[in-house]
Amino acid sequence: MVLLLKSGMALLSILRYPDSRLHKIAKPVTAFDQRIKQLVADMAETMYEAPGVGLAATQVDVHEQILVIDVSDTQSDLRVFINPQIVWASEERQIYDEGCLSVPGIYDGVERPARIKARAKDTDGKPFEIEAEGLMAVCIQHEMDHLKGKVFVEYLSPLKRNRIKARMAKEERELRKDRERDRVGMR
């Protein structure tokens, strides 16, 4: 489902855990063309609308190495990472309560390197490097995991993960029932 907005951007639907498409491996982007620029604009719009601080192309069922991130309070600092790589990570680690637009309503602590250095390309294919800490470092690592087919709940215990799966499945059934009811005009 794609919802068209008047600005020429579109809201994309976000896959929900445990959708198996979230486990696909993303391929590198090779052509930095208009299609990629449009996709990045749509991903940013979808992230802001959700609202979230990061979105990987995997989550909108596009299996190419693209991330959009904005950790500012004012949604005014969009960062785009294409074909990102982590080139350095600190030995120091931190635990951060993470959430994910593909696992709505679930937050849990994940331990990762506290500081990282990442290399990526922008929408014109121009390479850049960034050193990140705090939420930005968490976000880059979390979104890069999506490109490898990994969702943050996979860091949690099997018991917690199964509980989350059951909750997601229940919500999915309710959403489907709601849609069905809307379709037959019962409300």
Active site amino acids = 143
3-state secondary structure of 88: strand
Nearest to 79 by CA among 129, 115, 8, 38: 129
**Among residues 15 and 100, whose Cβ is nearest to Ni ion?**
100
Running DSSP on this structure, what letter comes out for residue 28? P
Give the number of other Cβ atoms within 10 Å of residue 23's Cβ.
Answer: 15
According to CB under 5 A, which one of 100, 106, 137, 139 is a site residue for Ni ion?
100
Nearest residue relative to Ni ion (C-beta):
100
Binding flag, residue 106, Ni ion (CB under 5 A): no
Q: Which is nearer to Ni ion, 100 or 118 (CB)?
A: 100
Which run of H or of E encompasses 121? strand 115-121
Q: Angle at CA 102, nearest 5°, toward 184 and 127? A: 130
Residue whose entry in the numeric block shows the structure tokens 């907005």 = 5
What is the smallest separation between the CB atom of 79 and Ni ion, expressed in angstroms? 15
**Cβ-proximal residues to 184 (8 Å cutoff; 6+ apart), any chain:** none
- Which residue lies nearer to Ni ion by CB, 42 or 145? 145
Cα 91 to the center of its chain, rounded Å = 25
Place of tokens 């995991």: 145
**Candidate segments 96-104, 115-123, 159-167, 172-180, binder of Ni ion by CB under 5 A:** 96-104
Stretch that binds Ni ion, among 20-28, 93-101, 120-128, 168-176 (CB under 5 A): 93-101
Stretch that binds Ni ion, among 82-90, 94-102, 108-116, 174-182 (CB under 5 A): 94-102
Q: How far is the CB of 2 from Ni ion (least distance, A)?
A: 20
Backbone phi and psi for residue 174, each to the nearest 5 degrees, phi listed first: -65, -40
Shortest separation between residue 35's beta carbon and Ni ion, angstroms: 23
Q: Any contact of residue 132 with Ni ion (CB under 5 A)? A: no
Interacting residue ranges for Ni ion, rule: CB under 5 A:
100
